[in-house]
Structures are given as structure tokens and as C-alpha cells.
Structure 1
Amino acid sequence: MAAPFALRDLFVELNDLKRVHSAGRIGSIAERLFAQGWSALTGGADLETVALDITAKALAASRLCDLDAAFLASTGLDQVQIGDILVSGLDAVGGAVDPELKARLADVLQRGEALQPGHLPAFVAALNHQPRAGVTCPGRARILLEPPENHSEHCLMVAVYGVVLSPFYRADPAVVFLAAMSHHFHNAAMPDAGFTGEMLLGDHLAPIMARTTQWALDDLDLPLREIVERARAVLPDDATAEGRAFHAADCIDRVLQIAQHLRAASLTMGTVLDEMELVHAGPVKGFHDRVLRDMRIP
């Protein structure tokens, strides 16, 4: 069974949520959604509700960025107006999303029900500050691409991809979401030296990862800790539908993270000016064009 090629463009666009920042808000959109997800879970929200809420917000933000419910409400719009705008963001990118899942995501955005926030576990801040290793291979020097993503951004993106992929793999989206949100628990304490560093740890790798993972799990109260542990049972392999959805999402994110660096490096002014219309249509476009032509820019 071939992976769903139709979702490729959506995943490429979603990946940029790791790099979108706004004044007055700390961290990227992906980083903040990661924190929102864990806050809702510790606040007692239903797991599937959280998975759909965070995924819906991510898809809407792929075009709207931080023109989110909080901002729109601050400008005086009511919930119906806010919901309509957020759903328009979802519709703009969600053409390839499973129709039933898309309808559920749209309903979440339209209703705009706030999830009761709980405390933020210590591992959230730690993963925010733990950079990913870059491209590593045993026996070779690493390739570092700046700026690096952090582990909360990666976990959030894998979680969102996993929910979107779940209908294709006939997986439980809530389990996939939680497995992805927790799959780098060990890196809250363990610096990321990549595959290269892990191989150099040899027989010490497994017990170190188990110990550092447990430290993160200990930040969670029961019964949430046990729910997370059950979800993490799908991580070791692709023997389950949830495992397949998770591992598909994980490898897609790892490669798209590098692809965006290469895409930026190969960007041309033809793309920027002609395709993306950097100097866009408007009452002064003719004047703008003359200025650029006269000054031979670019």
C-alpha cells in the first residue's frame, strides 16, 4: 500500500509552523501548540478531544499563522465569525484530508470550546530548549543546519501528521497523537547527539534512555502517566496501525525539516517576484516596478 502522496503539499506547508513567530508570543507556533496540548492533558481533557483540537489549530495556522482565536477575539469578533475564519484556513489547505476527519476538525474550530489548562510538566520547557542533532551518521561528521528545530517542535509536528495520517492507516488518532507527543521524552534530559552519539553509547544507550524517559514520565500524575505509557507501547515497531501512522509521520517530519533548508537555499528571484508576487498588485504596483527596473533590482 503506497503512502498518501496527496498529503505531501499539506505536510510541507505545515512544517513551517516550526518557524513562524509573532510579537508578544514566546516560541514558534509549533512550540506553543506542544505546550497547549500538554497543558490540556494535565488539565484533564479527553485525549481524543486534545488531539483534534491541536491538529485543527495547526491546520488553520498553516495559512492564518497567529491570526488565531485569541487574536480574533481581541479584535471584537464573535465566535461564529472566528469559527468561520478558522475553518476557511482549514479549507484552504485541507483538500486532501480524510473527509470525516476534516469535518471533525472543522467542528472543533467552529465551536471554539476552550480546554481547561493544567500545569505544564517540566519536560515541556526542557524539550523547548533541547535542539535536534541535525544530520548525523556513524563515522561521519555531523551536518548542522541553522537555526535548528527543537524537540517540542518535532514532537508536535509528528503528532499532527500522525492524526492526519491515521484514517489512511486505520489507526486510532488519539493514540498516535499521544505517542508522538511523548516519543522524545528522553531528550528532556538527554542532549541530542543524534544516531552517531547513540551508537557510541553502545550497551549503555538503552538503560540511559529508559532512565531519562522515566524522569519525564514522573512529571505526570496518574492516571495520565499510565495513559501515556500505554500509547508509547506503539513506538518500537510498525506492527500496529498506530505504529505505522506514527513512524510514517516521524520519518516525513525528519526529512521535510531538512528539505526546507534546501528549498530556501535554492530559492530564486523569479519565484519570489513572478510566482509569489512579492511586489503585488495594487494602486502603486506600476510605480514599484519602475523603481526596481530603474535601479536594476534585483
Structure 2
Amino acid sequence: MSGPAAGAAAPVALRELLVELNDLKRVRSAGRPGSVAERLFAQGWSALTGGAAPEAVALEITAKTLAACRLCDLDAAFLEAAGLSDEAVGDVLVTGFDAVTGEVDEALRGRLRERLRTRASLEAGPVPGFVAALAQQPRAGVTCPGKPRILLEPPENHAEHCLMVAVYGVVLSPFYRADPTTVFLAAMAHHFHNAAMPDAGFTGEMLLGDHLGPIMARTAGWALGELDARLRAEVERARAVLPDDATAEGRAFHAADAIDRVLQIAQHLRAASLTMGTVLDEMELVHAGPVKGFHDRVLKDMRIP
């Protein structure tokens, strides 16, 4: 993967992966509250409060997210419960991971794949209160000062957004020559203020005027106050890259943030423009199997679609 010295502001080769990953904010399964992204956000913070090194958490959560891109909730816990051997579980996870990561930086890809093979256990700590609050806090939608808001349902929540930006940030880090752990931690914590502060979007922020900065600092401080001194210091150091793009880590974070914000809206537009040609011909909704011929005849005689 060529770096920023090549002149590009972002690695277009990763576009398709980032688009596909975004759907994990909308993938759900019975018996598992919340989306895949929301649950991985909680897992990440639980591992951090449990004392795991931020680098280990960044690799673990990113590897799980990439494997889930195609496997969804066919994760290690399910595969083990379904009776697969440890080796078979690793094989399935790596196969899912390899299906989508061909353009990921080779060195990073190897480290992430190893996490799926070894599945080193990270001790689970208490889930901070801000995790549930961010999962309950919807994002504002499309806002612009002086204009009515554009609401697209269902909205994503802030936990989903933070998780996706964190994973994007890790995957993008080699391009910007950034430290992926710093980018991951900054992204996981970049909406701390919204655990308490309702999201009125850019419009609301502008209407707050000079009150915005103090309110954001105070509400972010409430979330930081839930962390022990060691973890709080690490998070505060990582959050120092958030204000601008003056550092490699700041550039990786802001690239990830902008990409996720726009892809969230793009998926609504993609769904609205979906055609039956795509569904039936390209995606083969009525897929190959022993009764496909019968299915096709039924649909033809019923004049569906």
C-alpha cells in the first residue's frame, strides 16, 4: 500500500472493504442485543477496563470486526458452542478475514490474522456506564446551520460510529504511518461528550456558540471520570490527536471519521436505489440448489417481480 508521499490523501484500494464493513452497524442476531458494531464497542471497553494493553485490544477488536464482515455473528463463541474444534474455529475465522482483507497492509494483516488464530483471552472488566449511554444516543443525521435537519431512519448510534471509526483508523494507519493503537483509542473515545450530551449535529453546536467548548469538556470529563487513573491517562493522551490533522494519528483518525460519516448516509441511498436486477441476477437471491429450477418457474408463473 503506497503512503501519503505518493500524493493521495487516502488509500482508494481500501474503499470496498470500508464500505462493506460499515454494514456491521446494521447486522443483528437473535439473543444478542444491539448490532455487531455496538457489541464490539462494548467488548473493547470491557477489555480496556480489564487491564489489557490498548495495543492488544486494538488488534483484537479490529481482527474480530474484519472477520465479522462476511461471517457476521458466526463468531468464535458460536462456532465453539456449535462443536467445532479450536483449529476449525481458527480456520473459519481466518477464511472470513481473508475474504475481505486482500488490500490491507501486509504486516498489519499478518498481526490481525494471528489474533484470530491464537484468540488470546483478554480479561473482561466492568463495562463503563458511558458505553450503554453512547449505544442509546442516536446520531443527529444530516445537519447544516440555517437549514432543517435531514433524518434518515433508522439512525446509527454513537457506539456504532465510534467502533467503526476505530477499526477504520487501524486499517488506515499504515497509509498515514500512524500508530494504530493511538488512533484506535482516540476513536473509541472521541464522542465521550455524547454519552450525556444529546446530538443536535453541527447546527446545534453552532447555536450553542461560546457555550459549546465548556459543555463538551464538562460532559467528556464525566465519561473520563469512569476510568481508573492509568486508563484515563492513556485515553487522554490518545484524545490529544483529535483537534486537528497535524499528526499522522490525527490524519488517520479524521480520514476514518469522515469516511464513516459519509458511508453511513451512502448506505441509505444505496438501499433506496436497489433494483430487482441486482437482487436476482447479481446477488442470486434465488440461489443455486436442488430446487432452484422449481423456484424460478414459480416466480415466472406468479409474475414476480
TM-score (ref. length: structure 1): 1.00
Secondary structure of the corresponding residue to residue 142 of structure 1: strand
Secondary structure of the corresponding residue to residue 117 of structure 1: coil
Secondary structure of the corresponding residue to residue 150 of structure 2: coil
> Conserved in 2, the CA contact under 8 Å of 1:79 and 1:111?
no
Matched, 1:12 2:19: yes
Inter-partner Cα distance in structure 1 for 2:110 and 2:87: 16
Give the corresponding residue for 1:155. Answer: 162
Question: Which residue identity is paired with 2:178?
Answer: A
Residues 142-182 of structure 1, C-alpha deviation per residue, up to 9 Å, x if partnerless?
00000000000000000000000000000000000000000
Give the corresponding residue for 2:4. Answer: none
Give the corresponding residue for 1:99. Answer: 106
How far did 1:230 drift? 0.3
Matched, 1:183 2:207: no
Give the corresponding residue for 1:35. Answer: 42
How far did 1:112 drift? 1.1
Inter-partner Cα distance in structure 1 for 2:146 and 2:55: 42
Inter-partner Cα distance in structure 1 for 2:260 and 2:182: 18
1:101-116 matches, cutoff 5 A: 101-116=108-123
User: Which of residues 125, 140, 162 in structure 1 aligns to 2:147?
Assistant: 140
How far did 1:222 drift? 1.2
Residues 64-107 of structure 1, C-alpha deviation per residue, up to 9 Å, x if partnerless?
00000000000111221111110001100000000000000000
Matched, 1:59 2:54: no
Inter-partner Cα distance in structure 2 for 1:219 and 1:78: 39
Inter-partner Cα distance in structure 1 for 2:110 and 2:257: 25
Inter-partner Cα distance in structure 1 for 2:289 and 2:130: 48
Inter-partner Cα distance in structure 2 for 1:36 and 1:285: 41
CA RMSD between the two structures:
0.4
Residues 110-164 of structure 1, C-alpha deviation per residue, up to 9 Å, x if partnerless?
0011210000111000000000000000000000000000000000000000000
**Identity across the alignment (%):** 79
User: Which of residues 4, 11, 21 in structure 1 aligns to 2:28?
Assistant: 21
Inter-partner Cα distance in structure 2 for 1:140 and 1:268: 32
Matched, 1:256 2:263: yes
Inter-partner Cα distance in structure 1 for 2:66 and 2:80: 19
Question: Which residue identity is paired with 1:104?
Answer: R
Question: Which residue identity is paired with 1:22?
Answer: S
User: Which of residues 206, 211, 216 in structure 2 aligns to 1:209?
Assistant: 216
Question: Which residue identity is paired with 2:133?
Answer: A
Question: Which residue identity is paired with 2:265?
Answer: I
Inter-partner Cα distance in structure 2 for 1:131 and 1:263: 21
Inter-partner Cα distance in structure 2 for 1:213 and 1:246: 18
How far did 1:295 drift? 0.7
Question: Which residue identity is paired with 1:73?
Answer: E
Q: Hey, which bits of structure 1, 4+ residues long, moved more than 3 A?
A: none
How far did 1:237 drift? 0.2
Inter-partner Cα distance in structure 1 for 2:141 and 2:289: 42
Give the corresponding residue for 1:174. Answer: 181
Matched, 1:84 2:91: yes
Give the corresponding residue for 1:199. Answer: 206
Secondary structure of the corresponding residue to residue 280 of structure 1: coil
Instruction: For structure 1, list consecutive stretches of 5 or more residues without a partner in the other structure.
Output: none
Q: Report the count of equivalent residues.
A: 298
Inter-partner Cα distance in structure 1 for 2:120 and 2:277: 44
Secondary structure of the corresponding residue to residue 234 of structure 1: coil
Residues 182-220 of structure 1, C-alpha deviation per residue, up to 9 Å, x if partnerless?
000000000000000000000000000000000000010
Question: Which residue identity is paired with 1:191?
Answer: P
Matched, 1:128 2:135: yes
Question: Which residue identity is paired with 2:267?
Answer: Q
Give the corresponding residue for 2:3. Answer: none
Inter-partner Cα distance in structure 1 for 2:290 and 2:134: 47
Secondary structure of the corresponding residue to residue 93 of structure 1: coil
